[in-house]
Amino acid sequence: MKPWRIKPSWRVDLCGRRALIAALVLLFGTFGARASEMRARTFSPEGLAKVSDYIRNEIATGKIPGAILLLQQHGKPVYYESFGVRDVATELAMSSDTIFRLYSMSKAITSVMAMMLVEEGRLSIDDPVSKYIPAFADMKVGVEKKGEDGKVTLTLEPLARPVTIKDLLRHTSGLPYGYYGGGAVRELYAQANLFHADLSNADFVAKIATLPLVEQPGTMWDYGYSTDVLGRVVEVISGKTLLQFEKERLLDPLGMTETAFYVADPKNFLRIAEPMPDDRLVNPTTPVRDPRRPVKWQSGGGGMVGTIGDYARFAQMLLNRGTYDGRRYLKPETIALMASDHIGPETKIARDQNYYPGVTSGFGLGFAVRTAVPPGTSWPLGEYRWDGVGGTFFFIDPEDDLFGIFMVQTPSQRGRIQLALKTLIYQAMGR
């Protein structure tokens, strides 16, 4: 397999702001202090063999059809293996050109596009969303109140402050997914059928702007449609569709030629990975999407498909602090800002009942960020990551100059497998 290598760039454009410098130090560390550790931390063959054995057992026991795992360190693959088949119906072997539903791994790409506009001065993370989507100025917060008769009614209250771009990036906008249940506002989102309504991004956002927020902006990390709205903001500013702007500024220059919102060419349909036949619901009412079907909705929050090679280029660009093959996409301090915790204790932001990053992580501008070492481990601080409801996940580990990508389609098994694999991977490094 050809490695996805980067020509290193050591030019650092420091902005002088103490907060960003602190973020850089936290994320990347001092070179001298970490250099010896980075040289020492290598993968043991025995440890990687346990990783392979685990994945093979998942296939042998009928949990998943197949998978691909890539671990790339210091710009070179140190582990790359394909396992099993793309689809048990066709029995075609899993391979590097297999196409996967990325789902929420799309969020990292959309967030990068927004931060490109921030660097250009065309967008600020402190801007109100209503500056670009005027309907957001009229949004209200839905509050349930119990009357003297014991009946619960939904009242609408004004915003304490506007929803901002930062709220969209860090999931504090009050825009939930809705399929979790738990309250009248979430039920309204479920009834709106947003997942199944194939609307343009403009029409999607117009529809969501008619719904109330589930809480006041900036008060709670609440996973939902924030990044989809962010994708529409990108369209408004760029004057292009989300995919057009992504292709122009990121996908085509990086060589991510297989990444899109559906598989357009029927000749590539057999390359699509499928879950097991009994594992095809991403939530109780929603089946996995069919990437063969053309769609209007370019969902910046969960609509993309792609290959492991494409996402590896994107991950290496992030790990290399914004450059790939001599071209700069983002500044180092922008990457550092994105990969810093923006919902820490000082913000007094609460966390929803599911809080997917977990107790040892905060959330940055597009990623979960490791802020504490999990008990019984020596996992690195500053690692940032995200995953997709279809089973895929990635992580960026600046301390070890490492990234990992696991590609699989298994909505029901994803959490269990991700934790087990991350544990085995870091044990293979002696962490």
Residue 82 has which token pair? 């394909």
Of the candidates 185, 201, 226, which is a domain's last residue?
A: 226
Q: Residue 39 — pLDDT band, cuts 50, 70, 90?
A: low
Residues 49 and 151 in one domain: no
pLDDT digits (tens, 9 = 90+) for 46-73: 999 999 999 999 999 999 999 999 999 9
332-361 mean pLDDT: 96
User: How many of the other CB atoms lie within 10 Å of CB of 81?
Assistant: 17
Give the separation between CA 335 and CA 427, rounded to whole angstroms. Answer: 27
Residues 148 and 297 in one domain: no
Structure confidence at residue 318 (pLDDT): 98
Residues 131 and 247 in one domain: no
Structure confidence at residue 173 (pLDDT): 98
How many CA atoms are closer than 13 Å to the CA of 336, on its beta-carbon side? 21
pLDDT digits (tens, 9 = 90+) for 252-310: 999 999 999 999 999 999 999 999 999 999 988 899 999 999 999 999 999 999 999 99
413-427 mean pLDDT: 97
Residue 297 has which token pair? 């909705």
95 within domain boundaries: yes
pLDDT digits (tens, 9 = 90+) for 117-161: 999 999 999 999 999 999 999 999 999 998 878 788 999 999 999
- What are the residue ranges of helices labelled H in 271-388? 308-319, 332-338
Structure confidence at residue 218 (pLDDT): 98
SS3 377: coil
Residues 99 and 247 in one domain: yes
368-375 mean pLDDT: 96
329-357 mean pLDDT: 97
14-26 mean pLDDT: 45
Residues 129 and 24 in one domain: no
Percent of the chain residues past pLDDT 90, beyond the cut: 84
10 within domain boundaries: no
Residues 96 and 217 in one domain: no
Of the candidates 199, 226, 253, which is a domain's last residue?
A: 226
Residues 40 and 82 in one domain: yes
Q: Looking at this protein, which amino acid is placed at residue 278?
A: D
13 within domain boundaries: no
Residues 175 and 292 in one domain: no
366 within domain boundaries: yes
Look at the block and give the residue holding tokens 């991403």: 282
Structure confidence at residue 71 (pLDDT): 98
Structure confidence at residue 180 (pLDDT): 66
Give the residue numbers spanning the domain of 180: 125-226
183-205 mean pLDDT: 92
Q: What is the domain-level CATH number for residue 400?
A: 3.40.710.10
Q: Looking at this protein, which amino acid is placed at residue 381?
A: L
Structure confidence at residue 363 (pLDDT): 98
Structure confidence at residue 151 (pLDDT): 86
39 within domain boundaries: yes
Cα four-point dihedral sign 193, 194, 198, 204: positive
Residue 32 in this model has a pLDDT that exceeds 50: no
4 within domain boundaries: no
Structure confidence at residue 8 (pLDDT): 36
Residues 417 and 269 in one domain: yes
Residues 55 and 186 in one domain: no
- How many domains is the chain built from? 2
Residues 47 and 157 in one domain: no
Using CB atoms within 10 A of its CB, is residue 54 exposed (0-12), middle (13-18) or buried (19+)? middle
Q: Nearest-CA neighbor of 124 among 153, 92, 87, 166?
A: 166
265 within domain boundaries: yes
Residues 374 and 276 in one domain: yes
SS3 289: coil
233 within domain boundaries: no
Backbone angles phi and psi of 307, in degrees to 5: -105, 165
- Give the Å distances, CA to CA, from 80 to 68, 72, 388, 405, 419: 7, 8, 20, 10, 19
Structure confidence at residue 424 (pLDDT): 98
Structure confidence at residue 83 (pLDDT): 98
305-323 mean pLDDT: 98
Look at the block and give the residue holding tokens 């990992």: 404
Give the separation between CA 43 and CA 298, rounded to whole angstroms. Answer: 39
Structure confidence at residue 181 (pLDDT): 66
pLDDT digits (tens, 9 = 90+) for 195-235: 888 999 999 999 999 999 999 999 999 999 999 999 999 99
Using CB atoms within 10 A of its CB, is residue 9 exposed (0-12), middle (13-18) or buried (19+)? middle
Of the candidates 171, 202, 226, which is a domain's last residue?
A: 226
pTM above 0.85, yes or no: yes
Structure confidence at residue 263 (pLDDT): 98
